[in-house]
Structure formats: structure tokens, C-alpha cells
Amino acid sequence: MGRTLPVIIGHRGASGYRPEHSRAAYELAFELGADDVEPDVVVTRDGVLVLRHENEISGTTDVAGHPQFASRRTSKTIDGVELTGWFTEDFTWAELQTLRCVERLPGLRPESATFDGLFGILRLADLFALVDEAQDALQRRLGIVAELKHAAYFARLGLPLAELFAAEVRAAGWNTGDGRLMVESFEPTVLRRVREAGVRAATVLLVEAEGAPADLVAALGDGAPSYSSYLDERGLAGLAAEAIDGISVPKQLLLAPRHPSVVEAARASGLRVFTWTLRPENAFLDGAYRAAGSPGEWGDWEAEFAAILASGVDGVFADHPDLAVAARAASVGAGA
């Protein structure tokens, strides 16, 4: 029997075609064949979970054009990075409802930018309902891979992301353990707290190519384990022992595989492997697959996607779900 086909996950919806995290992006992702969608989850001042790439929202909303919020522009250090802008934790949900989504990369994706201002911000609760409705309409299993962002930072503000998330999951009727929900984070602490809160979902540790988890750096300083330490035999076994179900790695780790490969090593520890992010534009492709032209032009995405799928991953995150679906179909035809 051949291996199970990799899951196609619409990265922030179909974010290559519509402003990310908008209703239109999520609906289009499923229309284009995505199995799951990935929301980034942050929180408001009044404890509402909302879907934004970061808690700093100047690049993904029209907040800068609202004079009533001009005084909220500020600078903060988030997980060791100084940022200036507007932050979700300084707004109530009622205030965020007055904003509209905009394309984060208008220079690379001008067509998506034509939809600026048409869609409001979604709550996590809204996405649960949207996915249920889409599943009924399309008559196929659809799911969510929720990324919890900056959990340790929010906890210091008295906004416990894991507990808030668990409450939302239960309220939406999604705590059934039916496999439709996964939870991921770059911070292992929040994954443990999600499990302790009783959420019945697979947990996945996101792993950067460099650095260390922000929650552990905050707690341990220079003694924090690096992301790379999770990828050797001992680190992978440790994750499995902690009831982590999988890892999600940047695609460059698969395009330049180690010996044994990351996928093989993780599988030996009983972990699933996902990778991010499949994108067709020259700006995001590995150098070997770029074509002549501007950063926004599409290069040889077919070849790069095929190489990634050939690694044997369990799932891929893609901004253009239809391209990933096509690449998956081609890999089956090629016997990958």
C-alpha cells in the first residue's frame, strides 16, 4: 500500500489570491481544493481570539487610515523584536470590527490588492462556523490547523492564549477528537498548555531554521534549546515523549536534506512532518527554481513543489492551494 497523500493546507486561506485571513481567502481555499486552512491566532484587549498574521496589524489592515486610532500607534518589543505600529491587544473586538483587510504584499501580489477594503477581520469563532458550512456545502472533510502566536508574550499581559483557545474550541463544538483540528506553535509551552486544557487535537511544533523558541528564551535565556536541537534523534524522541504529534519545518530543510533526512528521522520517532510555505513567486522560490523576471513573477514552482512532495511530508502549507493540489496530483501520476 502506498503512503497517504499529503494534506494541502491553505496558508492563511488562499492568501496568494485574496488578502490573507479574510473570509474570501478561506472560502476560496476550499473551492480550490485545500483540505485544511491555517489561521494565525492572536488576541484582543478583551480576550477575543482574532485571525491576523501578527498582533501588529498595520500591514494587513487599514488601521493607519482611521484617525480615531492614530494615538494607538506605538513601539513594542515582541519576542525580542522591536516593532512599531498598531497591536491587537490594544483594541477591543468592537473596535477591530471597524477595520478592513488589505494585501500584505501588494508589490508582489497586485491582483490580490484589488480586494483591499472589501472584507472585515474574522474571529476564530467565525472560522469554525465557516469551515463547518463549507464542509456541508462541498461534502468532503475539511479542517483547521490553528497557529497560536506569541503565547508567552500574551500570557504576560494576562491573556492566556491556550485557555482562551480551549474555550473557543468547545463553544464551536470542535472538541470531538475527530481529526479535523490541529494546533501548532513555535512555542512548545503553549502546546503543552493546550493539551492540559483538554483540547482534543494533534499538536505540532513549528521549527525555524535558526534561533530558539521565544517562550523558552524568556524563561531560560541563553540556556534555551535551539530549534535545531529538536531535529536530531534525541530531540525528536523527546518531542514524541512529550506527546507532540508532529513538526513543521521550513521548506529549505527538505530541499537540502540531511542524512538521514528530517522526514525519515521524524518518522522513526513516530512524528508527522509538515512544511511551509509553498509559493510560486521568484521572491520565495529556492534559487535553483527561480526564473528570469521580477520577484513577483512565477518561476519553476512545479519543480520545487515536486521536490518537496517527493520528500514524503505529511502536509504542505501553500498560499495558492490549487497549485499544491495540482503538484500533488502530478506526484501521484509520477509514482512519488
Q: Is residue 61 part of a domain?
A: no
- For position 134, what pLDDT does the model report? 98
Domains in the chain, number: 1
CA distance 292 to 200: 47
* 336 has pLDDT over 80: no
Q: What is the DSSP string of 90-117?
A: GS-HHHHTT-BB--S-TTT-HHHHTTTT
What are the backbone dihedrals phi and psi of residue 8, each rounded to the nearest 5 degrees, phi first?
-100, 120
Give the range of the structural domain holding residue 44, as residue numbers without chain letter: 7-56+122-333
Kindly indicate the confidence band of residue 91, based on its pLDDT and cuts at 50, 70 and 90. Answer: very high
Rounded-to-integer distance, Cα 227 and Cα 261, Å? 16
pLDDT of amino acid 2: 44
Give the number of other CB atoms < 10 A from CB of residue 288.
11
Tell me whether residue 85 is in a domain: no
pLDDT for the residue numbered 260: 67
Mean pLDDT of the chain, nearest integer: 96
Please write down the long-range contacts of 207-212, taking CB distance under 8 Å and 24 or more positions apart.
207/231, 207/247, 207/248, 207/249, 207/250, 208/250, 209/250, 209/252, 209/253
**232-255 pLDDT tens trace:** 999 999 999 999 999 999 999 999
Instruction: Classify residue 126: in a domain, yes or no.
Output: yes
Q: Please compute the mean of the pLDDT values over residues 24-49 and round it to a whole number.
A: 98
Residue 63 placed within a domain: no
Residue 45 confidence (pLDDT) above 70: yes
Check which CATH number belongs to the domain holding 134 and give it.
Answer: 3.20.20.190
62, part of any domain: no
For residue 252, being part of any structural domain is answered with yes
Mean pLDDT of 263-280: 96
Is 113 within the bounds of a domain? no
pLDDT at 321 > cutoff 90: yes
Residue 78 lies in a domain: no
